[in-house]
Structure 1
Amino acid sequence: MVTMTDAAARPPLDTRALRGSLGQYATGVAVVTYQSDDGPRGATINSFTSVSMDPPLILVSFARSTTTAQLLGDRPFTVNVLAANQLDVALQFAGRQQTGLQVPWSPTAQVPRLLGTVAWLQCKPWATYDGGDHVLFVGEIVHHDCRRGEPLLFHRGTFRMIGVGVYDLPRIVQLDGRPIAPWVGHAHLLHEISEYLEP
């Protein structure tokens, strides 16, 4: 059991080092869009969480100091999962104005939504929770869609694209745990590809 005295005696965490640890977790990049009194708005996030499938719930969070945390409240919102070619959109909604960018708003969406994304999830408000210096918004998915394409990624403070698939790595290991030669993995991949070639 942790007492108040124990908690007070602990030194504070190094915030910069903590960000470095959290940044090792690679995520996708999305923009949460919603309708404000002044028109459609959005904010870039690098993570959202699937909470439940029945009912279908997802969670997004925003720092209390942000406009989105203050405005989102009980408004419907859409999570737009950005494609790899939408870096300019990500930067725009992260507060870095992109000269000449025409924001690709969908002209038919009931809740503001972006075009060209690899997926989108339209939500109605479900619950709001205290998350320390953040506000946690849980939404119930009411509409969604996706298309084929590569997503935009974020890792260690940098936007990235998908690299080599795991299937390119060796598929077998030696019984004593020693690493297998890299060519073995390539041979397995070649064998897999050859199964789809015409005789």
Structure 2
Amino acid sequence: MNAAAAKRPLDARSLRGCLGQFATGVAVVTYDTDDGPRGATINSFTSVSMDPPLVLVSFARHTTAARLLGDRPFVVNVLAANQLDVALQFAGRPQEGLEVPWSPTAEVPRLRGTVAWLQCTPWATQDGGDHLLFLGEVVHHDSCRGDPLLFHKGQFRMAGVAVYDLPRVVQLDGRPLAPWVGHAHRLHEITEPGYLDEP
């Protein structure tokens, strides 16, 4: 490949489609302002470190969140599969009649009904091209059972069947394993110590 070809700009639409093949969860980052609680829907969220416990969220530079979030505590609310309306609300598409499920007891604005949440204090802000990358240190967190809302190929989606329930688990000769294998996996999962005691 010659130097001219190597420097050719990438087609943004094609790149977006390529990146969209990576399925993610959907979260709303919430924080407090002088005008009350605010939030923004994202799918650019990832764990960074366990020691210290750091997570990263990313916002385009032109957004309100990018302007306000730098020195503020925030919460990453991982949305449940039944919270599409909440995702749309905080993605700039107000949902008529929706009462935002703010937690009345949260120290930092937080949503109720999520499958997980992580309260963070600011750790660092990094340049990310046309985005800003916000690292937060997790100081409180919680999670519960339930399926998350997913995002894949530009669409919101719900979780499907667990892989071990599909005929993708095969024997060495290529034949699918018997259906009871998936049931045995599930029985093992629910009888693991502590599984039934989780909140």
TM-score range, shorter chain: 0.7 to 0.9
Q: How is 1:1-199 mapped onto 2 (pairs within 5 angstroms)?
A: 6=3, 10-169=7-166, 170-174=168-172, 179-181=174-176, 184-190=177-183
What is the alpha-carbon root mean square deviation over aligned residues?
2.1
2: CA distance, partners of 1:154 / 1:26 = 6
Deviation at 1:192, TM superposition (A): 5.3
Structure 2 counterpart of 1:62, one-letter code: F
**TM-score relative to the length of structure 2:** 0.87
Secondary structure of the equivalent of 1:21?
Answer: helix
Secondary structure of the equivalent of 2:113?
Answer: coil
Q: Is the 8 A contact 1:105 1:113 kept in 2?
A: yes
Q: Is the 8 A contact 1:127 1:137 kept in 2?
A: yes
Q: Deviations over 1:6-39 (max 9, x none)?
A: 4896110010000111000000000000001111
- Give ranges in structure 2 of 5+ residues lacking alignment: 190-199
2: CA distance, partners of 1:82 / 1:58 = 16
Q: How many residues align?
A: 187
Instruction: Assess, with a 3 A threshold, how the Cα gap between structure 1 residues 125 and 192 changes in structure 2: closer, same or farther.
Output: closer
Instruction: Assess, with a 3 A threshold, how the Cα gap between structure 1 residues 74 and 7 changes in structure 2: closer, same or farther.
Output: farther
Instruction: Assess, with a 3 A threshold, how the Cα gap between structure 1 residues 105 and 21 changes in structure 2: closer, same or farther.
Output: same
2: CA distance, partners of 1:138 / 1:75 = 11
2: CA distance, partners of 1:141 / 1:155 = 27
1: CA distance, partners of 2:28 / 2:39 = 6
**TM-score relative to the length of structure 1:** 0.87
Q: Deviations over 1:155-199 (max 9, x none)?
A: 001111111110113423435xxx424xx3524335657889xxx
User: After TM superposition, what 4+ stretches of structure 1 lie above 6 angstroms from structure 2?
Assistant: 193-196
Identity of aligned residues (%): 71
When structure 1 is superposed on structure 2, of 73-82 and 5-14 the one drifting more is 5-14
2: CA distance, partners of 1:139 / 1:157 = 26
Instruction: Assess, with a 3 A threshold, how the Cα gap between structure 1 residues 189 and 133 changes in structure 2: closer, same or farther.
Output: same
- Give ranges in structure 1 of 5+ residues lacking alignment: none
Instruction: Assess, with a 3 A threshold, how the Cα gap between structure 1 residues 75 and 190 changes in structure 2: closer, same or farther.
Output: closer
2: CA distance, partners of 1:69 / 1:148 = 31
Secondary structure of the equivalent of 2:77?
Answer: strand
Deviation at 1:47, TM superposition (A): 2.8
